[in-house]
Amino acid sequence: MLNNNKNICKDINCPIQGVPANAVSIVESVSKEECALALLIEAQADLLCKAINKCISVCDFKDIINSIIQTMKTIAIKNNTLENKLRETLNFIQKEGIECLDYNRQFELLNSLNSVLECISKEEDATGHLIEQTGKIIAKVEYCTLDDIKSVDDSVLTLMRLIIENNFILDRKLRTLISLINFIKCSEFDIFIKVKKKLLCTIKKLINSIFAEEKGLALLIHGESEKLHCGLSVCVNRDEISEISNFISKIIDVICEKKRILEYKFSETIDLLNTVGFSSSETDSVTDHIKELQSYALAGEYELANLIKGKSKNINATIGKECCNYPEIISFNACMTCSLVCLLLNLNVGRKNRKVIDSCPSGCKNASMCKEINNIIMKLNSL
């Protein structure tokens, strides 16, 4: 059995051999597998959707999420295999030259590449739905202790990191597809005329999937806000409230990383638009389409405002419990300010024309928090 597994791994990474027509068949098979993966991710989102009710327990939540995590691990491995297939196809065609394919084969290849792009958009769209349902179910979980909150956060972090890993693979796949399409443009045949309309629709679907994920991230932030609100009722002292704040900061870090991937994907989609070479009216239609979808991105800012409001409640809760201990109140206020600055800085990582805010509150006893902010500021300065 072990030897068979070694042979399978060897076959995955071996170069494409045989007639050029095989390259076209491989791309077509990748397209079908991508569509199947999109359906599998959508099924995971539907599983979460069915589980959402007014009071889901932490144990039930963990059981469901752990099941989804196992599925997402398998999807990431499969996606990596498909990405290898596409890269080997690109290497083969570049080595043999596009002229190794006749007119009909070039058309079939371009059509299959478009199908893969469309399936990637479906997979990203399903991922957005999965993130959305995760955010919704976080808001419905019954939190009784600080350990409950930590347990849910650990599961969500694991799931989101897997989603990000899968997104990185899809991003590499997108770049490979764009390279293949760009290489086909070197052909003596003008085959893009027959596929341009389909490619334009696919580009719009890719943009749709970006905003679907933005919507999902907004609802994930909403879930974190609700969890923070519940945390105030189960935590009794400043240290516990600060610990909840640290949990949420980790989730925000992951959300920011996801947003950076979406930024890369958007940039690559625009590269695809330029590679194909559309008319000004066709390009304008894409611009108008983006404007229509911008409300999803704004939803994230709205939920962030609610999260910041939750941070303020943290401060008020501590003031209520330690109303006579002014040094503690001042120290905690400084720590919460650190946490808020940390959150805002993270959300600006990867954005152009960023402004770095330096914060060094005096009297802060939360050394790890201040160290975290200093690290983020150093990262921003090095970008």
Buried b (16+ CB within 10 A) or exposed e, 73-93: eebbebbbbbbbbbbbbbebb
- Beta-bridge partner residues of 141: 56
Please, are residues 30 and 82 in contact by the beta-carbon 8 Å criterion?
yes
Instruction: Flag whether pLDDT at 325 surpasses 60.
Output: no
Q: What is the tens place of the pLDDT at every residue in 198-256?
A: 888 898 899 889 888 888 888 888 888 777 777 767 765 667 777 777 777 788 888 88
Looking at per-residue pLDDT, the higher value among 58 and 311 belongs to: 58
The winner for highest mean pLDDT among 4-13, 90-99, 260-269, 291-300 is 260-269
Q: How long is the chain? A: 383
The secondary structure element, H or E, covering residue 52 is none
- 287 φ, ψ to 5°? -60, -45
By three-state DSSP, how is residue 143 classified? Answer: coil
- pLDDT over 70, % of the chain: 67
Residue 316 pLDDT? 53
C-alpha to C-alpha distance for 131 and 133, rounded to whole angstroms: 6
Q: What is the pTM (predicted TM-score) of this model?
A: 0.73
Please, are residues 247 and 157 in contact by the beta-carbon 8 Å criterion?
no
Instruction: Flag whether pLDDT at 165 surpasses 90.
Output: yes
- Beta-bridge partner residues of 56: 141
SS (H, E, C) 271-321: HHHHHHCCCHHHHHHHHHHHHHHHHHHHHHHHHHHHHHHHHHHHHHHHHHH
